[in-house]
């Protein structure tokens, strides 16, 4: 670089507005789920998320809450993705104050149905989703015995109690 050359000026980056923390529902993807004919096979997590990974519920489809719109880290890329997951594939629903800019930005971009706002309503909805997820998991394979050994969410929960 010669003495007369001036260093290139860096373009000024636009600062994004500060996003306010928001109460969302956090949940975990089940570690193992029953799959296949008669529920005799086990699969870890879901196709898009690893078992045990944390996701944030940002809404659900009107007319039923059996499919939830979530934000979480993808199984293969590790980056945040927005996807619809069946309620039965999630557990440990809870209210969480989210400060992550990535999650807040994706939440603002998505137009999924949400009828909760604030801590109290978020906690109520999380409890409702937890009950619904347990009911859906039990109703999925009625009267069909679990594989031996079984590591599905219900069996793992019973063995740790």
Reported as a single tens digit per residue, the pLDDT across 78-96 is 899 999 999 989 999 999 9
> What are the tens digits of pLDDT across the range 144-161?
887 777 777 777 776 665
Q: What is the pTM of this model?
A: 0.81
Residue 94 has a pLDDT of: 96
With 0-12 / 13-18 / 19 or more C-beta atoms within 10 angstroms meaning exposed / middle / buried, residue 127 is: middle
With 0-12 / 13-18 / 19 or more C-beta atoms within 10 angstroms meaning exposed / middle / buried, residue 121 is: middle
Residue 6 has a pLDDT of: 55
Residue 129 has a pLDDT of: 92
Structure tokens at 131: 């009950």
Contacts of 42 (CB under 8 A, 6+ apart): 32, 33, 34, 35, 147, 150, 151, 152
pLDDT band (50, 70, 90) for residue 26? very high
The Cα 107–Cα 130 span in angstroms is 21
Q: What is the average per-residue pLDDT within 70-77?
A: 92
Q: What is the average per-residue pLDDT within 52-63?
A: 86
Residue 8 has a pLDDT of: 62
Q: Which long-range contacts (CB under 8 A, 24 or more apart) does 156-161 make?
A: 156/31, 156/32
Residue 116 has a pLDDT of: 81
Q: How many CB atoms lie within 10 A of CB 94?
A: 14
């Amino acid at each position: 670089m010669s003495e007369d050359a001036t260093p290139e000026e860096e373009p000024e980056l636009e600062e994004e507005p500060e996003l306010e923390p928001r109460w969302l529902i956090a949940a975990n993807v089940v570690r193992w789920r029953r799959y296949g004919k008669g529920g005799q096979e086990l699969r870890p997590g879901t196709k898009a998320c690893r078992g045990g990974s944390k996701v944030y519920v940002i809404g659900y489809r009107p007319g039923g809450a059996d499919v939830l719109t979530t934000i979480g880290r993808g199984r293969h890329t590790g980056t945040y993705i927005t996807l619809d997951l069946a309620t039965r594939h999630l557990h440990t629903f809870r209210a969480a104050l989210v400060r992550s800019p990535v999650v807040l930005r994706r939440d603002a971009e998505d137009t999924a149905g949400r009828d909760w706002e604030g801590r109290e309503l978020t906690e109520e909805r999380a409890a409702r989703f937890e009950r619904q997820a347990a009911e859906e998991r039990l109703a999925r394979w009625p009267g069909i015995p679990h594989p031996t050994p079984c590591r599905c969410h219900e069996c793992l929960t019973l063995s740790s109690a």
